[in-house]
Structure 1
């Protein structure tokens, strides 16, 4: 089970489910960490960390952890540029930056030239230009430099100087992401993801125009996944030669998921919401594609047709109550739903 955003972490959910399943002697559960490149992915891969200084999406100083996995340093975008770092009234991707994520990459490269970047859960839609600024790029409008770049400042940019960026030395950059959206258009980064980051409909249109401007400036063609995390994969792929792989599949592969579950009959998975994004390659759809038995999903809300991904799906909400009460009762409701599913087995 992935985390239920703003309600319960993956660790809390799995602990609650284990407590409930311990009542049933005929059930022999196996637990796997699940992550698709968003928050919590680094913890699912690493057991050694260090702490560094970066800035958050609106340039306030914060701490971020870097993780160590084999001979890679793992950098989690959500820790520096994540939506969870901002209060609801602070969320607006017109005014947020990936600069802190770029700072973290710069520090990680001092330790290893091989990086794994996890890029879900962002508060941004700047196409990674803030990240590039932290790595040495400079931006101009009418020969005047633009600093602390955000989309609202870059709507009319006319020059990007990448000379300092070319000095960044690395051997390999792997990006973990399970989003398949293109950079621009109705199924692109701004239209699909910016509203949940605080953008109005008018701002969504402005952001899509901004992303088009960036794409036209660099002239690299769009590819699936370029729209992930506010368009940052477009920049990572084309300017830093990053290799993009499925985050969920990568995390599950490290846990030998397919071999370990070959004799299992039922998979119980889920996350906060089943919606159109779930079917675009996120963790739930990825784990289901790797499992051969019955697939059951539990969600805080179900907003799209789950057939084709799951055999059955359950919404954990019980009765009518406020969003705040639903958040506070999340673990209880998840546990009750799992027990209801087990009663059918």
Structure 2
């Protein structure tokens, strides 16, 4: 005979004191109406150096921000005691909307975008004229990334005492690209004039003289031995970007580590033409769906170049970017 299930009553129900999870979670977040506006000047392993008014202080990210990425150049809101004591620590509780975002990928096949800096309005592409030779591939990629992000590009050609800038400036003449030349010990007035009133990020290969420029523009930067981490007090590092204020509060320069590559996986093929305006009208003559790779599939760009509207080098650079991305 099947046993009848025992009927349970109140005495059979086990109870625990202060059971976990009995208090419903609230979706309300603190308003933090007292948050102070700040500017992120450095990031180091989950800690952030922010400038609130005239005071630099170390900050942590508040939990309510979740997994939102915070990078150099971000405008944020912070709460806590803001002073210049070594132990001062505040929390970032708000991430303001970004005006611009400069991104790159590790390579052209990497789908993971890396945000380099936020809210920069000018990208200074630093290239040596010799030792090392100019990397037109990197210059082209930086131009595409800047224009796709709505950031104005500037070309800074260093070591002009070793080689003439004519070849480089002629290559980008169609872009009407601002370009300045520098050499060790020479005047930086032309470059400084372009930086005034802007948030400028400097990008270039290692060895092109970027740190030398920064040290001359911001004498207190001491970039010869790398960035002095404001979080690690005295520990030198050059592995991340850092924002430095120009003298007389004339603007900001954001120094970045030397890059080996500048992937454009995040940039669409049509966006590449923004860096090649001398080819854009020629591309409009092509048939719909043209991949712009060769005349064999009906591309009109070769004829456009032959008519003198651009140069074979520029067309080759454009097609190289199309193939590699």
Higher relative contact order (CA 8 A, sep 6+): 1
TM range (shorter): under 0.3
Give the structure-1-normalised TM-score.
0.23
Name the structure where helix makes up a greater proportion of residues.
1
Name the structure where strand makes up a greater proportion of residues.
2
Structure (1 or 2) with the larger CA radius of gyration: 2
